[in-house]
Structure 1
Amino acid sequence: MAVAIPLSELPVVDRNTDPNSFPKENFTSGAVVVMNKPLEWSSFHLVKFIRYRVPPKKVGHAGTLDPLATGVLVVCTGKATKSIEQVQQLPKEYVAKITFGASTPSYDAALEPDETAPWEHITEEKIADVLKHDFSGEIMQKPPIYSAIKMKGERLYKKARRGEKVEIIPRPVQIYQTELLSVDLPEITLRIECGKGTYIRSIAHDLGLALGSRAYMSGLERTAIGSFNVHSALSADEFNRFMKTYLD
């Protein structure tokens, strides 16, 4: 059984990597590719994009991003796929846009609102107070039914699409820090540092309820996973240019 390689020993491909000095065997022996996932691409779409361009066909990602989210997606190649769990355990940082006054079945903008509620009573002070008391440290969170979590061997979103009623059990997640970046009600922009398994969509939904309203996540960017950040992440075009130089 192959042993996972420590992350600190794996070569990293990002904007700071020189393709001319990147050893040819690195992708096969195991490399970490830091990508900036484009809007409307699925995480699997990005994995396929990389798989068709690197020498080894063994490629996997560490932490799914929804199609309507952008930002850091860490992709591992070759033997580095054994180290994916190490990446998944790292703290994550997100910048989320949350819109009050309506909720959706998916907790984001992928589906049309199914419920509405007043939002005019919400203030910046009330938001800050609720974040401090209800969304800090270890909290119990119920994932959205439109998620890839498996229940009895089947993804929840498949049950949701069939209209099945599913009892989802809340689970503990860790919120390290929240910061209000902007408030332009009914929309706010929130920075969130959190642990593995946290659904930002659920934070948006639950924040709306905690404030006596409804809310959904109207935009999301993952800005960091551990020390891997969006500023050094490669766009799809940049990765194409890297590989062209690398293979020439």
Structure 2
Amino acid sequence: MSRRRKGRDVNGILVIDKPAGLTSNGILQHVKTLYGAAKAGHTGALDPLATGVLPLCFGEATKFSQSMLDSDKAYIATAKLGVTTETGDSEGKVVRETPIPPGLNSAAVEAVLGDFRGPIQQVPSMYSALKHKGRPLYEYAREGIDIERPARPVTIYDLTLLEVRDTEFDIAVTCTKGTYIRSLVEDIGNALGCGAHVTALRRTLAAGFVLEDAIPVARLESMREQGESLDSLLVAPDAALSMFPELILSADRLRSILNGQPVRISDQEFAGPVRLYGEDRFIGLGEGIPDGEQVVITPRRLVKTAD
């Protein structure tokens, strides 16, 4: 006998403005409870220190969480100069203090930032969630074990210096997935000759969503207390897939896709991931594979409501 899932069917994406001091999973579980949802997941963790855009997926939207995780991100970070910590942020133990070079100003910092724009190689922090032999690196770090980490390619699309103060600077960063802002700040600090660590971090972009889209958790709690429905705050799953081209299928092609069968089209624009639609509804995500002058569209992630 099948076991009935606890919770109700909730489908869609909720963009949360994550507060500081809480884990992404802690926020997820709290919001999942507020919704009484049967299934939910987030699209890439933010450190407890960090705030900002955190898309949460419910129900059918969880099928597209990997695509959202793979999207570009943007942040605003505050860095403390002259102090290096174990974790690369203010939550870690101080391991080194170095005098800040005299007269360090915006021009000096800007001169260093040029080396970190574009494609770069970055060594992940030992306090990251990357896994080694099935365990996250931070578990090894807490045991005093250092694991060799190869540098990984990431791309910094934009790195803007916002302000330099006596012992701090602020930067805005737009980057590919897998970029560690803590590591970036540490590397900038080392290039300046004094080290640095992150004291504040706010994510301003994830999966195409910006801060203006994000909802404070306190608003959810207030709505729940007043008996208001939270479902009106959800956005459709395809809202997070706008980076992919849209293909509206004819009735015959729609039938084939829903039956798990590929279809052929002549437009090379649809090579790669593609959003699939019927006449008036989102069907799911497909993949276009070039085959001569045509493209073969194969269904990859279809929503259950497409029947």
TM-score by length of 1: 0.85
**Identity over aligned pairs, percent:** 36
Residue 131 of structure 2 is matched in structure 1 by 150
Structure 1: which amino acid aligns with 2:144? G
Is 1:81 equivalent to 2:62 in the alignment? yes
Q: Residue 211 of structure 1: which of 192, 205, 212 is its match? A: 192
Q: SS of 1:28's equivalent?
A: coil
2:109 aligns with: 127
Q: 2:15 is matched with which residue? A: 34
Alignment of 1:152-171 (within 5 A): 152-171=133-152
Question: What CA distance in whole angstroms lies between the structure 2 residues aligned with 1:29 and 1:45?
Answer: 19
How far apart are residue 164 of structure 1 and its match?
0.7
* Matched-pair contact (CA < 8 Å) for 2:10–2:39: no
Larger-Rg structure? 2
1:90 partner SS: coil
Partner secondary structure for residue 9 of structure 2? helix
Asked whether the equivalents of residues 28 and 79 of structure 1 are also in contact (C-alpha less than 8 Å), the reply is: no
Q: In structure 1, the residue corresponding to 2:88 is in which secondary structure?
A: coil
Q: CA deviation at 1:55?
A: 4.0
Bigger Cα displacement from structure 2, 226-235 vs 152-161: 226-235
Residues 12 and 59 in structure 2, CA contact (< 8 A), matched pair in contact too: yes
SS at match of 1:168: coil
1:148-185 alpha-carbon deviations (Å, 9 max, x no partner): 11011111111001001211111011100011111103
Unpaired segments ≥5 residues, structure 1:
1-26
**Pairwise CA RMSD:** 1.7
1:226 CA drift (Å): 4.2
The match for 1:43 is: 24
Distance (whole Å) between structure 1 residues aligned to residue 154 and residue 39 of structure 2: 30
Give secondary structure in 2 for the equivalent of 1:140: strand
Q: Which amino acid aligns with 2:19?
A: P
Say if 1:29 and 1:80, in contact at 8 Å, map to a contact too: no
Note the alpha carbon deviations across 1:207-246, whole angstroms, 9 max, x for none: 0111111110111010111431112311111122445311
SS at match of 1:213: coil
Deviations 1:22-49 (A, max 9, x none): xxxxx83620100011110100001101
Matched residue of 2:138: which SS? helix
SS state of the match for residue 79, structure 2? strand
1:247/1:36 Cα in 2 relative to 1: closer, same or farther (>3 Å)?
closer
Greater length-normalized contact order (CA 8 Å, ≥ 6 residues apart) = 1
- Matched-pair contact (CA < 8 Å) for 2:88–2:183: yes
1:246 match:
229
